[in-house]
Amino acid sequence: MATAILLIVLVGSLLAAAALLAVHLQRVYEGRPGRALAWLGPVERSIYRTLRIDPEHDMAWGQYARAVLSFSLVSVLFLYALQRVQGSLPLNPADMKGVRPDIAFNTAVSFVTNTNWQSYSPELTLSYFTQMVGLVVQNFASAAVGMAVAVALVRGFVRSESNGIGNFWADLVRGTLYVLVPLALVVGVVLLARGVVQTFDGPAHVKTLSGAEQTIARGPFAGQEAIKELGTNGGGSYNANSSHPYENPTPFTNLLEIWSLLLIPFAMPFLFGRMLGRMREGIAILAAMLLLLGTAYGISLAAETRTTPALTAAGLEHAPNMEGKEQRFTVQEAAIFSDSTTGTSTGAVNSMHDSFTAIGGAVPMTLILLGEVAPGGVGTGLYSILLFATLTVFIAGLMVGRTPEFLGKSIGAREVKLATLGVLVMPVGFLITVGVSSVLDQGLAGPRNAGPHGFSEILYAFASAWNNNGSAFAGLTAATNYYDYLLGAAMVLGRFLVILPALGLAGALAAQKTRPASSGSMPTASPIFVGLLIGVILLVGALSFFPALALGPLTESLTGRLW
């Protein structure tokens, strides 16, 4: 009953807030953010003047893509350099030295691609300056890039016979200034009030009750925690991430963090419907996301709340699986957090996924592998599921003989190729890198466990990197040259080889003339379409990943860890 109430409160408040936020998002990306934030107008205009940007310049999709890539490249280079020289920079009370090259590269591409994979212990590796000026800035910027790409793709559906899909620089500035910064400020203040640490003092040195000396890391982390969740970033200030009491001290902050990481992803389908002027289309996309995530919740709760064979043998017939769970939170809260963070591209954790039951660990892994479309990351979830929706319309047209049209736009060879590229680039790259890492000595040196569970640790790492999630099965030792560079390359390709087809599709659609629906057009705001969309997502996932999952968590479940 308590779990049902928790889910009702979470989903109800989330959908209400997401619907309201979508109204604000539409105004922001149309250049009219409203009176409450009008005082930020001079700041926005000064940014344009300083950078010599014309926000009214309408970019073709190629120009938009080049702007995304150039901004991301400069961001990677800046963040890499910042880590390497942090020992000479201020706000470094613990005297952190420069980060070694492989970890600096991995971290730079990780935060710029909104992955936030961390192969290091943040509290032992990065100074306050690096975290604030480097990581926190990219938490805002990478989220704003994802939102900008999603809005550009929606414009492709909305516009008719247009060469442009918007201005990347204006979308980036507006998304950051009018959406992410105000939300992070509010959530950060609430987290600070509820006990999340925020100080510029160095580590605290204390004596424990047994008389031992202990060093407790501290820092300006409440602000980072807020945008970490709101921007579906996930990179924590502590190695323990959101299971650490200084990042997530109470059940209330735990619920707030889940709510925060789901807020913008669930607002994006509402924004889609509002920009189209056809809310039923947005509701259909939202329904598909909710059904996928709700199913995942059900399986995870069943897996983690039932007694494992080991507990039964110990005489604990009614005990849930508490291994790897933080005692401040229930097993149910851990399972809900796990699915929420992997259904989005957040990657934050309040429990150790490596310690879940075999099926319980397979669920977050599967959510990542499905492309994180339930509901996906900030912006990334919407443009990813729209790629699937484009394929669904085409496949459905072939099956029933209907005209392949989506929202008044013809889905021809070019559109199908772009959507297919965006959907399949991750499975191909993922399977290749997993296969290579499963036979090379450098790859096999990573897992701490043998057999199916060790293979699952490799599977999870590359699923997380290729899909820009950032969470991990903690049993994998990834702070090696092999994994730092290969996972870093996977993050880059997984991010931009989806963004580029999405922007190409936006350009192709915007150039078309919008046609009114005919009797041969498939209705895309119907339960049938929602079912077909979910079916296509699951079919692509089953064909691509089932053999790998069968060798990992599914085999493990058959050896006695099913529940």
* d(C-alpha 88, C-alpha 99), whole Å: 12
- Looking at the chain, the whole-number percentage of residues with pLDDT higher than 70 is 96
* d(C-alpha 11, C-alpha 1), whole Å: 15
Q: b or e along 328-339 (b: 16 or more beta carbons within 10 Å of the residue's beta carbon)?
A: ebbbbbbbbbbb
Residue with tokens 């209330």: 252
Of all helices (H) and strands (E), which one includes residue 410? strand 409-410
Long-range contacts of 131-137 (CB under 8 A, 24+ apart): 131/219, 131/220, 131/221, 131/224, 131/237, 132/91, 132/220, 132/224, 133/82, 134/78, 134/79, 134/82, 134/83, 135/79, 135/107, 135/111, 135/224, 135/235, 136/223, 136/224, 136/227
H-helix segments, 231-322: 251-276, 279-305, 309-313
242: closest CA among 218, 223, 225, 262? 225
Q: What is the pLDDT of residue 562?
A: 43
Q: What is the pLDDT of residue 450?
A: 86
Q: What is the pLDDT of residue 291?
A: 96
Q: What is the pLDDT of residue 4?
A: 86
Residue type, 416: V
- Looking at the chain, the whole-number percentage of residues with pLDDT higher than 90 is 79
Asked if the peptide bond before residue 203 counts as cis, ω within 30 degrees of 0, the response is no
Q: b or e along 342-380 (b: 16 or more beta carbons within 10 Å of the residue's beta carbon)?
A: bbbbbbbbbbbbbbbbbbbbbbbbbbbbbbbbbbbbbbb
From first CA to last CA, the distance across the chain in angstroms is: 21
* d(C-alpha 345, C-alpha 5), whole Å: 26
Q: What is the pLDDT of residue 309?
A: 67
Spell out, as residue ranges, where the chain has pLDDT lower than 70: 1, 308-319, 519-520, 560-563
Burial of 525 (0-12, 13-18, 19+ CB in 10 A): middle
* d(C-alpha 450, C-alpha 460), whole Å: 15
306: closest CA among 359, 228, 377? 359
Q: How far is CA 155 from the centre of its chain?
A: 22
* 12 CB-near residues (< 8 Å, 6+ apart): none
Q: Are 402 and 529 in contact (CB under 8 A)?
A: no
CB atoms within 10 A of CB 77: 12
* d(C-alpha 284, C-alpha 279), whole Å: 9
Q: Are 393 and 514 in contact (CB under 8 A)?
A: no
Q: What is the pLDDT of residue 35?
A: 87
DSSP reduced 3-state for 192? helix
Regarding pTM above 0.75, the answer is yes
* d(C-alpha 237, C-alpha 24), whole Å: 30
Would you say the C-alpha torsion 237, 241, 243, 248 has a positive or negative sign?
positive
